[in-house]
């Protein structure tokens, strides 16, 4: 994607997120790593997490992402285990992950006779999400860039239950023939906030192994075969990251022309459009008028418009009489 394409794609992406937030019950996030061996090699534009039967149990725990290493560890909700032993005997759990899990309320610790113990505050609800939808945005199909390669990676790896291409362009049969047949196609018009399903996506085998493209050279392509267990861990990581991150991840510019839309997008009154503050609102903008950045409570917007809960009750608990053992 070139710098010239970036502002249009950014505005398109935010408009689509706002539309999906208003028309679905999905938990939405943007720009997430979506691979297993090298998560940063494939960045998906938008991820939709479809709530599952245990979603309410997940919302009770924390509004933040729960560290994957904490979920995958042997630390449970029953008897607390010594922190040193839990870290030493696990090939996944690190001290940093323990601290992060405590910070978000998924782990709790206590001290007994000078020794620190750790346990989960609640059982992790594996069924909190039902499906993952991966969405690749390409407003202009006349400038596809790496679109074909990106979609082939998604299909061959199969981390998402369905993969969709969203575009503003008129979609021709020639376009469809160049897109993997498993990929669904949406035509979305940000100006009218309307979405047309051009082709439904084909469900992918997320519970089976997959193939990940890890490197490409002119005469050689390196791949990794990913088993179902590794894919399951990656899917949980993506879902947790999406839950904690959301899609309003930008800062509003400190400019008199900055004004939020009702759904929390950064709008410029001078240029009459949604802008990407990180790219176009710096000192190089001749129209910039220094002022306080708009006071936008993006968490309140998300809480009021989605199933995500900003201030969950939490599940920390305290054993009666625990002080006797300290």
Q: What is the pLDDT of residues 206-220, one digit of tens each?
A: 999 999 988 777 667
Query: In the predicted model, what is the mean pLDDT of residues 79-99?
Result: 90
Q: What is the pLDDT of residue 144?
A: 82
d(CA 122, CA 119) in angstroms, rounded, equals 9
User: What mean pLDDT value characterizes the chain?
Assistant: 91
Note if the pTM is more than 0.85: yes
276-305 pLDDT, tens digit per residue, is 998 889 878 989 999 999 999 999 999 999
Burial 96-134 (b: 16+ CB within 10 A, else e): ebbebbbebbbbbebeeeeeebbbbbbebbeebbebbbb
* Predicted confidence (pLDDT) at residue 321 exceeds the cutoff of 80: no
* Predicted confidence (pLDDT) at residue 92 exceeds the cutoff of 90: no
3-state SS, 104-169, equals HCCEEEEEECCEEEEEECCCCCHHHEEEEEEEEECCCCCCCCCHHHHHHHHHHHCCCCEEEEEECC
pLDDT confidence band for 145 (50 / 70 / 90): confident
Q: What is the pLDDT of residue 256?
A: 95
pLDDT confidence band for 36 (50 / 70 / 90): very high
Q: What is the pLDDT of residue 87?
A: 92
Other beta carbons within 10 angstroms of residue 252's beta carbon come to 21
Contacts of 310 (CB under 8 A, 6+ apart): 63, 299, 300, 302, 303
Nearest to 182 by CA among 198, 162, 167, 166: 162
38-69 pLDDT, tens digit per residue, is 877 899 999 999 999 999 999 999 999 999 99
DSSP state of 322: G
7-24 pLDDT, tens digit per residue, is 789 999 999 999 999 999
SS3 call for 81 = strand
183-208 pLDDT, tens digit per residue, is 999 999 999 999 999 999 999 999 99
* Predicted confidence (pLDDT) at residue 1 exceeds the cutoff of 70: no
Joined together, the tokens standing for residue 242 give 């999406």
Q: How far is CA 322 from the centre of its chain?
A: 38
């Amino acid at each position: 994607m070139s710098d010239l394409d970036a502002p249009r794609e950014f505005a398109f992406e935010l408009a689509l997120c706002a539309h999906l937030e208003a028309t679905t019950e999905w938990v939405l996030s943007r720009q997430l790593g979506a691979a297993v061996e090298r998560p940063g090699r494939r960045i998906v534009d938008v991820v939709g997490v479809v709530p599952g039967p245990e979603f309410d149990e997940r919302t009770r725990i924390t509004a933040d992402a729960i560290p994957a290493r904490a979920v995958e560890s042997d630390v449970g909700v029953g008897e607390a285990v010594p922190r040193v032993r839990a870290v030493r005997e696990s090939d996944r759990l690190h001290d940093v992950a323990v601290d992060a899990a405590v910070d978000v309320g998924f782990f709790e610790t206590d001290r007994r006779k000078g020794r620190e113990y750790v346990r989960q505050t609640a059982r992790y609800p594996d069924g909190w999400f039902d499906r993952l939808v991966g969405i690749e945005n390409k407003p202009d199909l006349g400038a596809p860039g790496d679109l074909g390669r990106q979609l082939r990676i998604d299909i061959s790896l199969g981390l998402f239950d369905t993969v969709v291409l969203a575009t503003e362009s008129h979609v021709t049969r020639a376009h469809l023939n160049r897109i993997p047949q498993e990929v669904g196609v949406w035509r979305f018009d940000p100006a009218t906030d309307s979405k047309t399903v051009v082709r439904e996506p084909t469900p992918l085998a997320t519970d089976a192994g997959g193939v990940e493209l890890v490197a490409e050279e002119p005469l050689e392509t390196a791949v990794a075969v990913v088993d179902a267990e590794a894919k399951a861990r990656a899917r949980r990581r993506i879902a947790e990251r999406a839950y904690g991150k959301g899609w309003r991840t930008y800062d509003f510019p400190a400019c008199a022309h900055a004004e939020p839309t009702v759904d929390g997008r950064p709008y410029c009154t001078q240029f009459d459009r949604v802008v990407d503050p990180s790219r176009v609102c710096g000192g190089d903008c001749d129209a910039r008028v220094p002022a306080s950045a708009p006071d936008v409570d993006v968490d309140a917007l998300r809480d009021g418009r989605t199933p995500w809960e900003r201030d969950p009750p939490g599940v920390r608990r305290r054993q009666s009489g625990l002080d006797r053992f300290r």
